[in-house]
Structure 1
Amino acid sequence: MQHDRIDSILEQWQQESPQLDLSALAVTGRVMRIARLLEKHREAILADYGLAVWSFDMLATLRRQGPPYQLKPTDLYDLLMLSSGAMTNRIDRLEKEDLVARIRDPDDRRSVSVQLTPKGIELTDTVMSVLFERENRFLEQFTKPETQTFTKLLRQFLLGFDANGR
């Protein structure tokens, strides 16, 4: 079996502190390393389209809502786990690029929704297609049943965090 960087770290800890149970590090170390590598990969793809991870997350969140591709800012910042100040700044930046627009509620002028523009929809659809195709390549090393098992285990792991209020 091939060794990865985490194996080397585990071997060093085993040598220095053989009494430690390294089971968690064997999993979390790999999950954290994969997360960093995937984030760098995603950042590189998004940069080709003039986007950052945060801007794509906003556009994709609006896009997956379905027509008319809009949310109230409070719903958007709840979904993205941001403060209202950060959300306002990000909406302003995407609005300047004509990717989103603020839509006033005709019945309540104080109420505003953020909506993808046609340009925002087109860009999001283009980027999603490229991004998901490239990310799917990482899974080509696994069989379909392996991918399903991997997904099930990752879901279980994540639900364990959610259940513990983390």
Structure 2
Amino acid sequence: MAAEPDHVDDIVTAWHVQLPGVAGLPLELAKRSALLTAAFDEVAARALEKLGLTQAEYGVLAVLRRTGEPYRLKPTDLTHALLLSSGGTSNLLKRLVAAGLVTREAALDDGRSSWVRLTPEGVAAAEAAVRAVTAAHARVVARIPEEQAGRLNALLKDVLAAVEEGILLRR
């Protein structure tokens, strides 16, 4: 069963009239994936707001929590994992330290470096946030039949691998 025409179809139709040959499958994929990402981001932001967290703060807490005990990383590892600048990471860490969710400890093996570690309160906040975001994301996809969602996930994995390979080949 084909889906009803949507907002992206309207955009493509308008471009066909205004600048024939420009709009096609790449535009449709870009727009639909952006809309899907926006839907996931919106529900995550609402869930995190209830917990007093921003999405960036959640990113730090989630990365640290998924590393397993002792729930710590060096700031440079966080910066890479979160795709942030070192200044952006530093600002986030200052807020999370002030909130009592993380601590910064000197690295014994390198006097110029430190470790960022979740506090017990940070572990609890991270787990609550991950559960809240996961539940919010589940609500986004709740109307998609499980088999269809599984196929979509497998296709997206293949597509992302091809896109990433293409980007790497161009560097």
TM-score normalised to the size of structure 1?
A: 0.90
RMSD: 1.8
Gap runs ≥5 in structure 2: none
Taking the aligned partners of 1:27 and 1:17, their CA distance within structure 2 comes to: 18
Residues 44-53 or 85-94, more deviating: 85-94
In the alignment, which residue of structure 2 is the partner of 1:133? 135
In the alignment, which residue of structure 1 is the partner of 2:145? 143
Residues 15-24 or 82-91, more deviating: 15-24
Once the two structures are superposed, the pairs formed by residues 1-166 of structure 1 within 5 Å of their partners are: 1-20=3-22, 22-165=24-167
Taking structure 1 as reference, are residues 142 and 37 closer, same or farther at Cα in structure 2, changes over 3 Å only? closer
Give the Å deviation of 1:151: 0.6
Taking structure 1 as reference, are residues 19 and 46 closer, same or farther at Cα in structure 2, changes over 3 Å only? same
Give the Å deviation of 1:116: 0.5
Amino acid of the structure 1 residue aligned with 2:11: I
Question: Over residues 79-98 of structure 1, what are the superposed CA-to-partner deviations in whole Å (9 max), with x where a residue is unaligned?
Answer: 11222222222111110000
Amino acid of the structure 1 residue aligned with 2:39: L
Taking the aligned partners of 2:40 and 2:143, their CA distance within structure 1 comes to: 16
TM-score normalised to the size of structure 2?
A: 0.88
Task: Count matched residues.
Answer: 166
Taking the aligned partners of 2:167 and 2:54, their CA distance within structure 1 comes to: 29
Percent of pairs with identical residues: 29
Give the Å deviation of 1:163: 0.9
